Structure 1
Amino acid sequence: MLNIVLHEPEIPANTGNIGRTCVAAGARLHLIEPLGFRLDEKSLKRAGMDYWKDLDVTTYIDYEDFLEKNPGAKIYMATTKAEKIYTEVNYEPDCYIMFGKESAGIPEEILVKHKEESIRIPMVGDIRSLNLGNSVAIVLYEALRQNNFAGMCKEGHLHRLEWE
């Protein structure tokens, strides 16, 4: 099972959308405090819709608490400061993909210790960053693709309308 980690997320609607994406993808969500909202906020639940109750979510008091409770975890750091593109790594089925807060990303003191595991999404020009929810979806679904969408429904069906 893949793991999405949000380091100090600030916007409840983004976290709600990411939670919904995690449920759809069969991924766990890890939230590193401080959060810019309360987990019982209406906007968080509204964005996550009725999927929030199905979300496997864990909170941590800080980054050190996260590391202590997930020893040996393979962590990829999504950042605009990385040299490697997110498609240039091989995601293990149980890896962790970390994203930073909307206003500042992952702190550089963390990134310098994970240069080889840092990944970026290419963008045109001087765009500062993509929306956090979009970034999570892009990287998470690449990791799922690399793992052949294990355990996921891979085909849909049209419903034929019958006329009487």
Structure 2
Amino acid sequence: MEPLEDFGGPDDRRLHIVLHEPEIPGNTGNIGRLCAGTNVWLHLVKPLGFDLDDRYLKRAGLDYWPHVKISLHENFEAVEAIFPRERMHFFTKKTTRAYDQANWQGGSVLIFGKETKGLPAEIREHYEDRCFRIPTTDKVRSLNLSNACAIVLYDAMRQLNWEPLQG
């Protein structure tokens, strides 16, 4: 595991996905597989709804799980201490600005909430200017977390001319 002090600094060009209190091991496993395939760091904020050695987590990530660059954080404040505000992008259905309005840069941090409740209100309110949504119809409550991560991550990489795949 890479030292945390390397994250968030001016030379950090990697993309990061942060899952705030994820609950479903299969989703986290799918997102881990996505991260392994894109050279993106996965950050998990406790409490988790599963153990990291959960069989569903590993099954969803298949044999790619050993290639996932992962960091575990005790709370969201630990994430805030690492990454500058201007690099953090929060995804929630409770905002009006679409994800394609995000200003992507190397070192961007994509932050998603738990499957059942999304991001806590205090985080959304504190980072209101950094919140984005994936537009959907009113026919669904929300998209699957792993699908949402893939949609946003690939748009960010496209805008960055696929630079993350080179790292």
- The residue identity in structure 2 corresponding to 1:75 is M
1:127 correspondence with 2:140: yes
C-alpha deviation, 1:30, in angstroms: 0.3
Counterpart selection for 1:53 from 46, 57, 66: 66
Q: Deviations over 1:55-106 (max 9, x none)?
A: 11000111112222x1425210000012210011221111101000000000
Of structures 1 and 2, the larger Rg is shown by 1
Gaps of 5+ in 2: 1-13
Q: CA deviation at 1:126?
A: 4.6
SS, match of residue 30 in structure 1: strand
- CA RMSD of superposed structures (Å): 1.2
Establish whether residue 145 from structure 1 lines up as the match of residue 149 from structure 2.
no
Q: What's the secondary structure of 2:19's corresponding residue? A: strand
- TM-score, reference length from structure 1: 0.89
User: How far has the Cα of 1:128 moved from its partner?
Assistant: 1.1
Residue in 1 that maps onto 2:97: 84
Under a length normalisation based on structure 2, what TM-score does the superposition of the two structures give?
0.87
Q: Aligned AA for 2:84?
A: G
Aligned counterparts, 1:110-125, within 5 A: 110-125=123-138
- The residue aligned with 2:26 is 13
CA distance in 2, matches of 1:51, 1:89: 29
Q: Aligned to 2:103, what secondary structure does the other structure show?
A: coil
Answer whether contact 2:31 2:149 (CA < 8 A) is retained: yes
Q: Distance in 2 between matches of 1:9 and 1:72?
A: 22
1:27 aligns with 2:40: yes
Aligned to 2:7: none
| SS of the residue 1:49 aligns to | helix
- Aligned partner letter, 2:16: N
Note if 1:93 corresponds to 2:109. no
* Distance in structure 2 (CA, Å) of the matches to 1:90 and 1:71: 15
Structure 1, residues 125-162: CA drift from partner, whole Å, max 9, x if none?
25210000000000000000000111537xxxxxxxxx
**What residue is the counterpart of 1:108 in the other structure?**
121
In the alignment, the residues of structure 2 paired with residue 66 and residue 147 of structure 1 have an alpha-carbon distance, to the nearest angstrom, of: 23
* Aligned residues with identical type, % of pairs: 43
Amino acid of the structure 2 residue aligned with 1:91: W
